Amino acid sequence: MVANINLPRILRVGAGASKTLAATLTELSLSRPLIVTDAFMVQAGYCTVLVEQLDEAGFGHGVFGGCVPDPTTDSLEEALSVLRAGDYDCVIGLGGGSSMDTAKAVAVMALLDGEMSHYKVPHKIDEGLPIIAIPTTAGTGSEVTSVAIITDTKTREKMLCMGLGLMPVAALVDYEWTLTMPYRLTADTGIDSLCHALEAYVSRKANPFTDSIALTAMRSIFQNIRTACEQPDNVEARAAMMLGATQGGMAFANSSVTLIHGMSRPIGALYHVPHGLSNAMLLPEITAWSVHHAPGRYAHCARTMGMASEADSDAVAGDKLVAALRQLNVDLSVPSPAEYGIVEDDWKASLELMAEQALASGSPANNPRVPTAEEIVALYRTVYS
């Protein structure tokens, strides 16, 4: 099997990486960036850190600060009108997954005619303005993936858009942005990263390249997530989480996610549960359902994360993995859908639709145990309370 691996051309990782923005642009022969971010990053002054650098370097620049959670084609149009009103040669995505998705979509639509919906999967978007990704959460891994998700305002569909045009040309991975992240955001985005690594490793599309980075990522995320939540300014934990998030992104982007992400997206779309949190709600029970269908792989994950020892059989290690993931949810106060406030009748009424959407995403087919629609419905029932 030939593994097909796509990555940014430039990756700078560590404290101060975002301070190399001007130098990175120069290296890429770029000089007129539009920064795409959200209102908080602008109002709290975070964006100024980049703007000052660009001013100092004498680069013309603009800022679009209107990114919203779960970006829509309407919010994308606003950003595009700002881009088209200027003479920009690249797009800087600053923020979490939503800002990054908006930045990516703006960069490709700058060169394409028509609407974003024309270019959703299975279309492959291969062109676009260069994207420089500066993630501020740890995280979606979006800085190293060729994917963006934009909701069609007309149909409410969460459109998956893919292609090399959406791959950042450079990613500046600087954990210092994450030192002020609150507890819940740290926990949810951290579990999202853990899911990326775990799903990439057990995926039917796993390959030797993604295996090694997935294992490294899951170990550092699992061993640091509690500390990062409890001690927000612990630089060792924050650095490990940020690197783990980028590695988790590299892993799933070059293998795939599986049933957890497949079932998570419909929960986000219907009930507006943050992406990482809906993954967290599913992680232990989906793993419990899948673990005996790839016992060696799951056992290796458990041993890598320090949940089981070499002396444990694969079956025992798999059970310890599930127990440790359940405990992690308890420790990080992850609510069930019921505890989150989703009404039981609504949940029950949407089971078939969510199962249909989960299957349609294709991700469940990469799971070690491939579910039927009825089995997905049963799993949604299991995790509810």
Query: Which parts of this chain interact with Fe ion (CB under 5 A)?
Result: 192
- Taking the least distance from each CB to Fe ion, the nearer of 20 and 256 is 256
- Taking the least distance from each CB to Fe ion, the nearer of 20 and 189 is 189
The CA distance from 70 to 104, in Å, is 14
- Taking the least distance from each CB to Fe ion, the nearer of 20 and 220 is 220
Contact 171, 259 (CB under 8 A): no
CA-CA distances (angstroms) from residue 348 to 75, 260, 377? 31, 19, 9
Phi-psi region of 333 (alpha: psi -120 to 50; beta: other; left: phi over 0): left
Q: Can you spell out the DSSP letters for 65-80?
A: EEE-SS-BHHHHHHHH
Q: How far is the CB of 189 from Fe ion (least distance, A)?
A: 9
CA dihedral (173, 175, 178, 180) in degrees, to 10, reads -140
The CA distance from 176 to 134, in Å, is 11
CA-CA distances (angstroms) from residue 190 to 8, 138, 217, 283? 22, 6, 11, 12
- Taking the least distance from each CB to Fe ion, the nearer of 69 and 295 is 69
The CA distance from 295 to 193, in Å, is 22
Q: How far is the CB of 183 from Fe ion (least distance, A)?
A: 19
- Taking the least distance from each CB to Fe ion, the nearer of 18 and 137 is 137
Angle at CA of residue 135, ends 225 and 126, nearest 5°: 125
Q: How far is the CB of 254 from Fe ion (least distance, A)?
A: 15
Q: How far is the CB of 225 from Fe ion (least distance, A)?
A: 15
Contact 106, 79 (CB under 8 A): yes
- 219: which 2 tokens? 């170990």
Contact 34, 88 (CB under 8 A): yes
122: preceding bond cis by omega (within 30 degrees) = yes
Q: How far is the CB of 196 from Fe ion (least distance, A)?
A: 6
- Taking the least distance from each CB to Fe ion, the nearer of 174 and 192 is 192
- Taking the least distance from each CB to Fe ion, the nearer of 24 and 247 is 247
Contact 205, 256 (CB under 8 A): yes
The CA distance from 11 to 68, in Å, is 26
- Which residue is nearest to Fe ion, using beta carbons? 192
Q: How far is the CB of 344 from Fe ion (least distance, A)?
A: 26
Q: How far is the CB of 265 from Fe ion (least distance, A)?
A: 9
- Taking the least distance from each CB to Fe ion, the nearer of 174 and 188 is 188
Q: How far is the CB of 364 from Fe ion (least distance, A)?
A: 15
- Taking the least distance from each CB to Fe ion, the nearer of 20 and 258 is 258
Q: How far is the CB of 140 from Fe ion (least distance, A)?
A: 6
